[in-house]
Copies of this chain bind each other. A is one copy, B any other.
Amino acid sequence: MPPERPSSAYPECVTRLIEEFGRLPGIGRRSAERLAFFVLKSNELDAMRLAQAVIDVKRRIRHCSTCWNLTDADPCPICRSEGRDASTVLVVEQPKDLISLEQTGMYRGVYHVLMGRLDPLEGVGADSLTLKDLVRRVSDPAANARGIAVREVILGMNPDMEGESTGLQVGAEMARLGVRVTRLARGLPAGGQIEYASKAVLADAIECRQEL
């Protein structure tokens, strides 16, 4: 007979599921238990769909070899699309940023995902980013989406210190290659109130004031 499990424990595979859920960001011990019990109670098909979705994402999703966007086809639909202006490249830190910008429906160019930001304190230098690939895209049209020459690079880093310094470095590299370099506008957030805006926001709003 196998040695008896302490009766205070969950069955081993329930414990394991609780641990696995607990590894996810923002999921504490109690939430992990709640999720595990939800899976235990849910019908088998639903649980299998969750498991399969995790597996599929890991099996199918790759980075686009041109822009590093997440994709299940390479090049990604944005780099492939005839309807996009491949001469304009918006540089972002993360695939998430790309998604947010895409959801506005306002941008018709292509992207380049740096896969991070410069953070010397954390040991993240330019080599850990995809800056080299961006340089290649800008220097050699063949490396860019649909073989089109890049004419403008828009810096779309987060408006904070690391984003700022990443932008400076990327901007300097791009300027050296002779393309137009712009950055996303800074200023008052639409829907906000001047009364509650931070000093940095107001400073941007004044300094970057726009012609009517």
Binding site for B on A (CB under 8 A): 4-5, 7-8, 10-14, 16-17, 19-21, 23-27, 31, 33-40, 44, 46-58, 60-61, 70-73, 77-78, 81, 84, 95-96, 99, 102-103, 105
Contacts and interface: CB of A to CB of B under 8 A. Distances in A.
A12 B72 contact: yes
A17 B53 contact: yes
Given A23-B46, A105-B8, A57 B77 contact: no
B47 A99 contact: no
A7 B102 contact: yes
A38 B24 contact: yes
A187 to B, nearest CB: 24
A105 B16 CA distance: 22
A181 B51 CA distance: 44
B20 A25 contact: no
A57 B17 contact: yes
B11 A71 contact: yes
Contacts of A99: 8, 10
A48 B53 contact: no
Contact of A11 (B5, B13, B50, B70): B70
A92 to B, nearest CB: 14
A96 B34 CA distance: 9
A31 B26 contact: yes
Given A37-B96, A50-B20, A57 B14 contact: yes
A35 B40 contact: no
